[in-house]
């Protein structure tokens, strides 16, 4: 699919966000490890969440989906079945990293694999600490997928451990916390900075004892003596999805939109803080929490932006939003600099390199750095770009077209369905210009 966006009239209206994908991955998997039937409302079906659901099917988990609600019949921590063939996690890093932790707890032998892109993402960062807990697991020679897990008797618990992660990562932390469910003693994980705490919140809601000291970025899980309780929850809206619309409304003159039910967990609101520092007009109206996750409605109006520098802990709290943040930077006055973001090179693509190259192809002055990038003032002229199989890059470049002189044509834009299948539908509803070929 080829998608073309051109200079857009103001965006107007409101939109209720689908459930957050990070929460959806966890809810589906944790429900599979519970005993009993879980009911998860506002579950977003997309390419990445379908990868998790199909993987759970391979482990013998029964689930059904109807009108936005996912129903999962849990098998218990030790109830996952041995897959009959290697499990295809597609291009989902969250699926493979969380699932290997759950499989390690269950002691079920399996092989987890995925796309060529997934096979380039580092996995030793999860396998090495798992090995210290007594998990027999191997990677390919380059430290990437496929991951091969050996069997372990349920009567043989994993070891308790104190683990220091070299890089703050919610996926790695979550993997280890899931494995810790089958440990003989508590497992403590310390990170060099903050990362998403969705796993800690959700496991706590399932009656697992999790202590989280945010002052030193340390979390300790005490293995449960009772089965996990099933989930009955409604997922908070996806702030990563909201980010595309927040930036679009901010940079398109005259825009005025409201986004409803957005998850505003502090570990995820870096994009709002960065845009606000640039001068964005974003009003946050708190709504009732959903299963321990804070939620708010966001009112966004067009506003002129100025360049800023983003670094340190803020980077981790907006790690998935840098492609769309770069579009805001292109629309700002003055230079924007991003530092301490080398982790972007290990996403669905090398996001630093791909992002800078594609921005330059549409006339944006973008400079690549080892751990980030810088962008100078100047809205995009327009042109033809490629997604390189990266859904966030695809949608970000589409947003760039709405402030461009000649429009932006995005090739291979169907990759957007991996995370936001309704992107074009919602954009048209709010008044944006979109053409699909």
Active site residues: 320
**Rounded CA separation 156/165 (Å):** 25
Strand (E) or helix (H) holding 70: strand 69-75
Beta strands of 204-339 (E only): which ranges? 209-213, 218-222, 232-234, 256-263, 281-290, 293-301, 309-310, 336-338
Between the alpha carbon of residue 249 and those of residues 41, 188, 280, 328, 354, the distances in Å are: 28, 42, 10, 10, 24
Positive or negative, the CA dihedral 6, 333, 258, 70 is positive
- What is the Cα Rg of the chain in Å? 21
**Taking the alpha carbons of 149, 36, 201, 113 in that order, is the dihedral positive or negative?**
positive
The DSSP letter of residue 341 is -
Cα gap 219→212, rounded to integer Å: 4
Say if residues 144 and 172 touch (Cβ distance below 8 Å): no
Sole residue written with tokens 């008797």: 153
User: Distance (Å, rounded) from C-alpha 170 to C-alpha 181?
Assistant: 17
Give CA–CA dist 392/126, Å, rounded.
24
Q: Is 261 left (phi over 0), alpha (psi -120 to 50) or beta?
A: left
Q: How many Cα neighbours within 13 Å face the side chain of 408? A: 32
Q: Rounded CA gap, 52 and 38, in Å?
A: 16
- Select from 217, 325, 323, 345 the least CA-distant residue to 273: 325
For residue 306 the two structure tokens come to: 């100025």
DSSP string, 163-214: EE-SS--HHHHHHHHHHHTTBSS-EEEE-SS----HHHHHHHHTT-EEEEET
């Amino acid at each position: 699919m080829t998608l073309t966006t051109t200079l857009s009239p103001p965006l107007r209206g409101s939109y209720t966000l689908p459930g957050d994908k990070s929460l959806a991955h966890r809810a589906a998997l944790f429900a599979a490890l519970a005993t009993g039937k879980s009911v998860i409302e506002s579950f977003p079906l997309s390419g990445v969440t379908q990868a998790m659901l199909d993987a759970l099917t391979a482990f013998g988990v029964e689930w059904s989906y109807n009108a936005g609600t996912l129903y999962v019949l849990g098998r218990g921590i030790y109830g996952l079945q041995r897959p009959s063939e290697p499990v295809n996690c597609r291009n989902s890093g969250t699926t493979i990293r969380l699932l290997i932790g759950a499989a390690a707890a269950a002691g079920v032998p399996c092989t987890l694999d995925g796309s060529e892109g997934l096979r380039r993402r580092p996995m030793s960062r999860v396998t090495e600490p798992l090995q210290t807990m007594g998990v027999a697991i191997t990677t390919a020679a380059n430290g990437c997928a496929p991951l091969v897990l050996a069997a372990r008797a349920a009567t043989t618990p994993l070891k308790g451990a104190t683990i220091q992660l070299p890089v703050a990562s919610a996926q790695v932390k979550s993997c280890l916390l899931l494995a810790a469910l089958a440990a003989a003693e508590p497992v403590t994980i310390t990170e060099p900075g903050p990362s998403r705490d969705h796993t800690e919140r959700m496991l706590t809601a399932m009656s697992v004892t999790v202590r989280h000291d945010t002052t030193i970025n340390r979390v300790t899980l005490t293995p449960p003596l009772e089965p996990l309780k099933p989930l009955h929850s409604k997922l908070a809206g996806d702030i990563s999805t909201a980010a595309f619309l927040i930036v679009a409304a901010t940079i398109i003159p005259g825009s005025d939109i409201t986004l409803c039910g957005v998850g505003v967990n502090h570990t995820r609101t870096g994009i709002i803080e960065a845009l606000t520092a640039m001068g964005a007009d974003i009003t946050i109206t708190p709504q009732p929490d959903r299963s321990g996750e804070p939620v708010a409605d966001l009112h966004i109006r067009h506003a002129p932006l100025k360049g800023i520098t983003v670094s340190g802990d803020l980077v981790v709290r907006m790690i998935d939003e840098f492609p769309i943040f770069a579009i805001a930077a292109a629309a700002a006055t003055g230079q924007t600099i991003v530092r301490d973001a080398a982790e972007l090179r290990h996403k669905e693509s090398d996001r630093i390199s791909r992002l800078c190259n594609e921005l330059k192809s549409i006339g944006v002055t973008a400079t690549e750095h080892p751990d980030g990038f810088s962008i100078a003032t100047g809205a995009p002229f327009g042109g033809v770009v490629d997604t390189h199989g990266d859904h966030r890059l695809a949608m970000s470049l589409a947003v760039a077209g709405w402030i461009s002189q000649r429009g932006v044509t995005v090739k291979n834009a169907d990759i957007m369905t991996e995370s936001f299948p309704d992107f074009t539908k919602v954009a048209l509803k709010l008044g944006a210009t979109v053409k699909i070929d």
